[in-house]
Amino acid sequence: MLDPQAKYLLELVVASGLPPFHLLSPAEARETYNKRKQATQAVPVPVAEVENLTMPIQDGTLGLRLYRPVHAAGPSEPALVYYHGGGWTIGDLETHDVLCRDLALQSGCIVIAVDYRLAPEHPFPVAVDDALAAYRWVRSRAGELGLDPDRLAIGGDSAGGNLAAVVALMLRDAGEPLPRFQLLIYPATDMRCVAPSHTTNGQGYLLTSDTIAYFRQHYIEDARQWSDWRASPLLHPNLGGLPPTLIITAGYDPLRDEGRQYADALSAAASPAQYICFERQLHGFITMGKVLDEANTAVSLCAQAVKRALHQ
């Protein structure tokens, strides 16, 4: 059954009369997403340091935000590079501020959130290029940031989980040092949207097939690119040699099955992978700790996995 708290949340959404994202312009959807978070996200917890950073890119600069959970215990601390969700179209550093703070405090690791550029203004593969550039930038400046370049992880939720998975593949294919760990929270792994859960969970559970199509259309203008592995990491011909991965999914999520398929494909290719499905939850639940108790359980689970991977 659907978690009772999630069911109540759905009822509130219906009663509110708020239009779904796919009926809004991207600008309106971004504003709505930022406003909605106030109803479902807890008060941000204090951390020792929050620092807004900028890095150069070809067309200007990219924003990042560093969360230091405690005052530096040594010259080089482990860190998680994190990519927010939002269908590559909405979301930013603010929508995932609470989650990043919680992950930092509970893992004891620095978290660096990446404000990659969004579609439709910046369609595929701009977000991919930004995500890869950000990871490389963080690693190259580990010394000045107080990070250990050999104890880095990458992660993200939904679209951000997609980007994290793709970055790991690109680093491996380029022969570059890999992160120690991947945290993929209900990741999008197959832009063709052919997994059964896209049908069984396609309507009625916050993220709908209509909204997925809306995000996908903004991100990828040419349907022929759906099969590009930089958009659909599940379709990469070689998923071996990747870092240990934890994949979290939600039972009432259209993306559930492609997350499980990615975990299975990693395991089949001998890449270490663990898979956990929160069977009674919705897509996006991990940022809703104010109203969903299981969100807080999931955050703690993710943080402990990052801690184990990076503090060894």
Known catalytic residues are 158, 253, 283
Radius of gyration of the chain (CA): 18
Tokens read off for 150 = 């050999």
| Residue 171 exposed, middle or buried by CB count within 10 Å (0-12, 13-18, 19+) | buried
Compute the distance between CA of residue 135 and CA of residue 287 in angstroms, rounded to an integer.
23
300 to 19, 110, 243, 304: CA distances (angstroms): 32, 15, 21, 6
Are 72 and 108 spatial neighbours (Cβ–Cβ below 8 Å)?
no
**Strands annotated E in 144-234:** 147-157, 181-185
Compute the distance between CA of residue 128 and CA of residue 134 in angstroms, rounded to an integer.
10
Are 286 and 157 spatial neighbours (Cβ–Cβ below 8 Å)?
yes
Task: Tell me which residue of 246, 244, 240 sits closest to 260, measured CA to CA.
Answer: 246
